[in-house]
Amino acid sequence: MLSDLPKHLRHRRPADTTRHGLVAEIELLSAAQSALDAYRCRVVAAIDNLGDKGLDAAGVLRSVGRVSGRAAARVSSTAARMRELPATAEALASGAITSGHADVIADAAGRVGASPADTELVAMACAAPADLFTKRAREWVAGRETDDEASKRHERHRKNRSVKSWTGRDGMKIWLAQLDPITAATVTSRLDAEYERLWRQDGGRDLTGVGAHTTEPDSPDHETRTPQQRMADAFVSLLTATTTTDAGPTAATGAAGPHVRQQMIGIVDLARMRTDDPNGLATLVDGTPLPQGVLERLACISDITGVIFDGPGRPIWVGRTSRHATITQWKALIARDRGCVGCGADPNRCEAHHITAWNRGGPTDIINLVLVCSRCHHDIHDRGMRLIRGPNGWTITPRAGPRHERIAA
């Protein structure tokens, strides 16, 4: 009985505390959680179908389930679409996907139709964690939306842009900005570049511990900042234009512009570059569609780099071979991988990983490189994980057998 489940689990402890046993417990709990989420969707849909003028399912979830209003609305919306998504409902009930995957598929179904979302996205969802799948699904949706639909959504986002500020009880000023994805990508790229400059100014170190504070960078008692302090300083620096220019280099030193990882990158099919054939794909690296009007405006002020692909995901035009990936190779990697192949982290947080290690003869060529964030990179080299390429992209899974020999990228 479901009513006995909380009591049964309240004081339960894992019987097998080995790594193998604990991982098996997580696998079992994940499948059980998905089955419960699937059942909750069916209960939520039944509540909304009662028609008795009582509290709707979202209200019941908030009052009885004690979840936030946003979470309740998401569950209710997903439950309403599950009848149109039988493959998704079955995958959730069987534990093949999580409720996070189901939410993304339900949202995609509302934008491009239930049938293609249910038949194509479920297979992708089964092969990737929810965060990486969210990014892949966004790209999938972008490839199926018309330019008119993308333009309308962009204009809707533009109309809803806002910046609000208020003063907290302790006198600290708080800012909240809502920007359309394309404008946000420009702002983020500048913030990331300035953050990187300040991080290097601090010697490539972060301050940890209680009582962190900063002083002027050039003062004798200058201290390293925390990541949060450094991001705040980057925000102020760009707003007041005290250290950087619109072109990217610092005004004081004339240093080179930001690395390609900190730049706003758009992926555009050659066909889409022609104004008379706006049917090719054009997106930001996170899958946000670029309407034709926005694309034409950006093309006037952006650098254009060619990356030739020989089929899906196989760029064949690359830079020179070297120990570290060249800027040309970085551009090709960003165009192909769009971010970390393990978790979907943005390119600005990624490193170029050698699939076959450099010290084992692996070349620094595009076919032997993938983008991974520092955490996934550490997992691969030091925590027994490995990269496996499947039909829907790369996944990071535990390495079978004895712990692998530690190798350097």
Q: Where are the alpha helices (DSSP H) in 279-365?
A: 292-301, 327-337
From the CB of residue 135, how many other CB atoms can be counted at a distance below 10 Å? Answer: 21
The percent of residues in the chain predicted with pLDDT above 90, rounded, is: 25
DSSP, residue by residue, 236-290: HHHHHTSSB-TTSSBTTT------GGGS--EEE-TGGGSTT-TTS-EEETTS-B-
The model's pTM is 0.67
- Could you give the CA distance from residue 256 to residue 172 in angstroms, rounded to a whole number? 35
pLDDT of residue 311: 57
Beta strands in 309-384 (DSSP E): 350-354, 369-373
Q: Can you read off the two tokens belonging to residue 386?
A: 């490995």
pLDDT of 169 above 80? yes
Most confident of 154-158, 222-226, 282-286: 154-158
- Per-domain residue ranges for the chain? 2-126, 179-262, 266-301, 305-409
Q: What is the pLDDT of residues 350-406, one digit of tens each?
A: 888 888 877 677 888 888 889 998 888 888 887 778 888 887 778 888 776 444 333
Under 8 Å between Cβ of 287 and 138: yes
Provide the pLDDT confidence category of residue 218 given band limits of 50, 70 and 90.
Answer: very low
Say what the alpha-carbon torsion angle 287, 292, 294, 298 is, to the nearest 10 degrees: 90
pLDDT of 51 above 80? yes
pLDDT of residue 170: 87
Q: What is the pLDDT of residues 229-287, one digit of tens each?
A: 999 999 998 888 654 333 333 433 334 566 776 677 777 877 776 655 666 778 887 77
Sign of CA dihedral 88, 92, 98, 103: positive
Q: Which amino acid is at 40?
A: R
pLDDT of 10 above 60? yes
- Could you give the CA distance from residue 85 to residue 269 in angstroms, rounded to a whole number? 31
pLDDT of 56 above 80? yes
Nearest to 189 by CA among 273, 270, 303: 303
Which residues does residue 370 pair with via DSSP β-bridges, in sequence order? 353
Q: What is the pLDDT of residues 294-351, one digit of tens each?
A: 776 777 666 676 666 665 555 555 544 466 788 878 888 888 888 898 888 888 888 8
Q: What is the pLDDT of residues 67-80, one digit of tens each?
A: 898 899 999 999 99
